[in-house]
Chains A and B, each alone.
Chain A
Amino acid sequence: MSYARPHAGVHPVTHLWRKITVTDLGFSSATRVENGKLLIDKGELTALLRSDPNIKDVQLTIARPGDPVRIIPVKDVIEPRLSRIPGYPVFPGVLSAWDPDSDGIPSGEIVSLCGMVVTTVGSIVGFQEGIIDMSGPGARYSLFSGMHHLVLDISVKEGTERHEHEKSVRLAGFKASDYIARSSLDGPLSSGTLETLYNPADPGFHGSGQSGGRKRVPGIAYLYMLQSQGLLHDTYYCGVDVKKMPPRRIVPTEVLFGAIVSGNCVSACDKNTTYHHQNNPIILDLLRGHGVDWDFVGCVITNENVTLGDKQRSSTQAAELIASLDPDGVIVSKEGFGNPDADLMMNCSKIEAHGIKTVLLTDEFAGQDGASQSLVDSHPNADAIVSTGNANEVIVLPPMERVIGDDRVITELAGGSNKCRLPDGSVAIELQALIGSTNQLGFERISSRFK
């Protein structure tokens, strides 16, 4: 499948995306895909992960869609992928050194294993880790309930400092994902679906192509806000902690390669796991309609730092970068809630001040009864909002036959309470505790309205 090239004569970065769907998981003596089933060498993978001196033990477990299983507390979810571009690895800057500005982003092929994910759990690091239910009412709220999971239940050595603990668990997920992709996808591949994604041309060429400078379709940009409050609320771009990085443009399909990874324990419902970044639907939809329904003029990533000075500086720079792309409109997605609402409103008002239209994606925290206001900040220019649901709304999850991880922590999770356990073994818990339930990249269908 291919899409129209928007600017003849300019060579935008192009990526060929091959997707190989996995229909089941199992353990075996050698890691490989056989007849659609991913087989994993437990010993080899465990040994690889235990080479981290902080890690004491790793239990590998499989969970399938429809299983009576609860996975808790989930830290990250990752889709295994292999870059077929020599010298350009997946998780650039994380598992190996990479500087996107000096090394560039080469065109070429990437392969992903679809339908399965690597999911990390283990004793709680921050309160804001979450739940995936593989069946029952909770399964309706998360795309992860429809996937096969290889769950890594990781315990660290006693005395491991909290931030080191988070880092070891985070890296273990990437290493496992990379190991699976390398072991099962290397070599000639003929199967799978193929999609070609053409990135926007450099902004210097914008409007100088065939159209003779006259826009025939609207120009749309994307402002991608990344959680960077610090202290267990971090996101990394090419291995760089984004709270220490000014807003910048990226090549949109960099996300396919894991250029943005999650390192945060912000509330489960609206944190972007690494999977969410790898599959960002705003980027993919904008690329797929690019040159036909609109011109996707570029993507800017920005942070959500905690100090007012940082917020003001980042929003000013982000708005200027967006304006330099000369779009008619911009989609702004937020990560997290509360403190980042202020960043969202600053980004919105400063972009609108450039005469550029905005649509904001946000979830809501309107209280369990839905009666409170939903965001902690507002601006009159925020007149076009897509709601991804009230994360405070309570859902009752019946008990599951099997728990992967440790469900004793459920009362401590953000969204739980000391009263959330019901006499019949169910838990009445806010949607907040379900991984990805109110995701602000727009994966899910849940929304909220006035009754």
Chain B
Amino acid sequence: MSDASRNGKYRIVHYVNQFFGGVGGEEKADCEPFTIQGPQGPGRLLEKRFREGNADAEIVATVVCGDSHFVEHQEDVLRELVPLIRGYHPDLVVAGPAFNAGRYGMACGGVCSALQPLGIPAITAMFKENPGVDQYRKTVLIVETANNVSGMEEAVRKMVRLGIKRLRGEEIEFPKAEGCFEQGIRKNYFHAEPACGRAIAMLLRKINGDPFETEYPIPFFDRVDPQPAIADLKGITIALVTSGGIVPTGNPDHIESSSASKYGKYSLEGLETLDARTHQSAHGGYDNTYANNDPNRVLPVDEMRVLEKELGFKRHPWYYATVGNGTSVDNAKKFAKEIAVELIRDGVQAVILTST
């Protein structure tokens, strides 16, 4: 991918918005995408700095799109732009810098992110409060810039330094060292010293009041306040959802025993109880002997049937199950979101969540 083009130059495609593309300001923000051969606006400075950095690079095309048009028609625009950019056989795509322009930042991030799966290196640059940072930092290399165009010179200098490394095929393992935003992704590495010695050294510094750096900064956790109890269950629909891994025998969806990447949705239609022949636990984080002997212990279908008659609620004919063992919080959140949308759509008003 770092092969220079036929005339020996690296080929770069530059993405800019309507303003830097010379179309106009906010009043032209709905401008549809088009292409200019060669550099335009900040592209000229970029090209100059690449050459000063001993990288014989050429901006072969500048792709321009209005900011509003991009965010309002993102899928369509990308469907058009990705093959178009690819057609130039670029060694690198540079988007922006977008500074603190929110829609422009989202567009730069969106373009870079869409090119990654094709193996086309793409970089961009923005101000830390640009919404594009939070949206794309995990997948895109984003150089940190000032909040407005007065930081152009510095932004271009940092982008070129990073761009040259990418052109030469260097993998950027820790973006922060390159002036980029941390991707917020945990990555393993081998420390020079075993963890035990590091712990004692950190404790001595903490005791002495010397500065120390935790190796894992504790994040802020969402806490969900429990909802008030429902006084009268008569007539409402209640569903069962479990992270205890109760699945139909044979685990038809192959939900992993740990680090689940999926959940299953299974019918309870006509079932008065679960038994060991029809259901099992797929969970690897607890001894599932007793859950396998009687799956109602984790997914209390039997008790629900008793209470249903007693209290007059309606049972939801489906239950959802995953394995809550080493499962990442991101995956868990994603499952919860999808399940909640379906439950609400299906008129469920209360859920009993069981875990292990």
A220 and B200 in contact, given A445-B191, A450-B182 (Cβ under 8 angstroms): yes
A281 to B200 alpha-carbon distance, docked (Å)? 11
Q: Which of B192-236 contact A (CB under 8 A)?
A: 192-200, 202-204, 206-208, 212, 214-216, 218-221
Most buried by B among A339, A387, A447: A447
Residue from A267, A383, A451 within 8 A of B214 (CB atoms): A383
- When distances are taken between beta carbons in the complex, the residues of chain A under 8 Å from B309 are none
Interchain CB contact under 8 A, A442 and B257: no
CB-nearest residue of chain B to A366: B186
Q: Which of B251-304 contact A (CB under 8 A)?
A: 254, 256-259, 261, 284-287, 289-290
Interchain CB contact under 8 A, B199 and A233: no
Interchain CB contact under 8 A, B219 and A378: yes
Q: Does A430 contact B (CB under 8 A)?
A: yes
Between A and B, 20 residue pairs with Cβ closer than 8 Å are A127-B258, A162-B289, A232-B287, A233-B287, A331-B203, A338-B285, A359-B203, A365-B328, A371-B184, A377-B221, A383-B214, A384-B214, A414-B285, A417-B261, A430-B258, A439-B195, A445-B193, A448-B216, A450-B186, A451-B174
Interchain CB contact under 8 A, A337 and B326: yes
Interchain CB contact under 8 A, A329 and B174: no
- When distances are taken between beta carbons in the complex, the residues of chain A under 8 Å from B259 are 365, 367-368, 392, 414-415, 417, 430, 432
CB-nearest residue of chain B to A412: B257
Report A3 CB to chain B, min CB distance, Å.
Answer: 16
Q: Does B337 contact A (CB under 8 A)?
A: no
A154 to B156 alpha-carbon distance, docked (Å)? 65
A449 and B206 in contact, given A331-B199, A392-B326, A441-B196 (Cβ under 8 angstroms): no
Most buried by A among B195, B200, B259, B285: B195
Most buried by B among A229, A375, A449: A449
Identify whether the interface residues of A are mostly helix, strand, loop, or mixed.
loop
Interchain CB contact under 8 A, B284 and A442: no
Report A393 CB to chain B, min CB distance, Å.
Answer: 5
- When distances are taken between beta carbons in the complex, the residues of chain B under 8 Å from A442 are 194-199
Q: Which of A427-451 contact B (CB under 8 A)?
A: 430-432, 439-451
Report A196 CB to chain B, min CB distance, Å.
Answer: 20
Q: Which of B159-193 contact A (CB under 8 A)?
A: 173-176, 182-193
Interchain CB contact under 8 A, B216 and A329: no
* Pairs of residues from A and B, 7 with the lowest C-beta to C-beta distance, nearest first: A442-B196, A231-B287, A367-B328, A127-B284, A372-B328, A442-B195, A414-B258
A372 and B331 in contact, given A329-B207, A338-B325, A359-B202 (Cβ under 8 angstroms): yes
CB-nearest residue of chain A to B176: A450
Q: Which of A286-345 contact B (CB under 8 A)?
A: 286, 289, 293-294, 328-331, 337-339
Q: Does B138 contact A (CB under 8 A)?
A: yes
- When distances are taken between beta carbons in the complex, the residues of chain A under 8 Å from B193 are 445
Interchain CB contact under 8 A, A357 and B214: no
A146 to B245 alpha-carbon distance, docked (Å)? 37
Q: Does A145 contact B (CB under 8 A)?
A: no
Interchain CB contact under 8 A, B183 and A338: no
CB-nearest residue of chain B to A166: B287
Q: Does B329 contact A (CB under 8 A)?
A: yes
Q: Does B76 contact A (CB under 8 A)?
A: no
- When distances are taken between beta carbons in the complex, the residues of chain A under 8 Å from B202 are 359, 384, 386
Q: Does B330 contact A (CB under 8 A)?
A: yes
Residue from A126, A386, A391 within 8 A of B199 (CB atoms): A386
Residue from B173, B197, B256, B287 within 8 A of A417 (CB atoms): B256
- When distances are taken between beta carbons in the complex, the residues of chain A under 8 Å from B220 are 378
Q: Does A364 contact B (CB under 8 A)?
A: yes
- Binary interface profile of A, 355-380, with partner B (CB < 8 Å = 1, else 0)? 00111011011111111111111111
Q: Does A388 contact B (CB under 8 A)?
A: yes
Residue from A163, A220, A447 within 8 A of B195 (CB atoms): A447
- When distances are taken between beta carbons in the complex, the residues of chain A under 8 Å from B325 are 338, 414
CB-nearest residue of chain B to A368: B259
Q: Which of A173-229 contact B (CB under 8 A)?
A: 218, 220, 229
A445 and B285 in contact, given A384-B202, A385-B216 (Cβ under 8 angstroms): no
Residue from B183, B185, B203, B261 within 8 A of A357 (CB atoms): B203
Q: Which of A372-420 contact B (CB under 8 A)?
A: 372-380, 382-393, 412-418
A256 to B185 alpha-carbon distance, docked (Å)? 39
Q: Does A31 contact B (CB under 8 A)?
A: no
Apart from A232-B287, A282-B196, A415-B258, what 17 extra A-B contacts exist at CB < 8 Å?
A233-B286, A337-B326, A357-B203, A365-B328, A367-B330, A368-B259, A370-B186, A372-B331, A375-B216, A376-B329, A385-B214, A393-B187, A414-B325, A417-B259, A445-B191, A450-B176, A451-B174
Q: Does A128 contact B (CB under 8 A)?
A: yes
Q: Does A158 contact B (CB under 8 A)?
A: no
Interchain CB contact under 8 A, A374 and B186: yes
Report A420 CB to chain B, min CB distance, Å.
Answer: 9
Q: Does A424 contact B (CB under 8 A)?
A: no
Interchain CB contact under 8 A, A329 and B189: no
Interchain CB contact under 8 A, B218 and A285: no
CB-nearest residue of chain A to B283: A127
A359 and B206 in contact, given A432-B258, A448-B215 (Cβ under 8 angstroms): yes
Interchain CB contact under 8 A, A385 and B218: yes
- When distances are taken between beta carbons in the complex, the residues of chain B under 8 Å from A162 are 287, 289
Report A159 CB to chain B, min CB distance, Å.
Answer: 14
- When distances are taken between beta carbons in the complex, the residues of chain B under 8 Å from A392 are 259, 326, 328
Interchain CB contact under 8 A, A431 and B194: no
Report B123 CB to chain A, min CB distance, Å.
Answer: 15
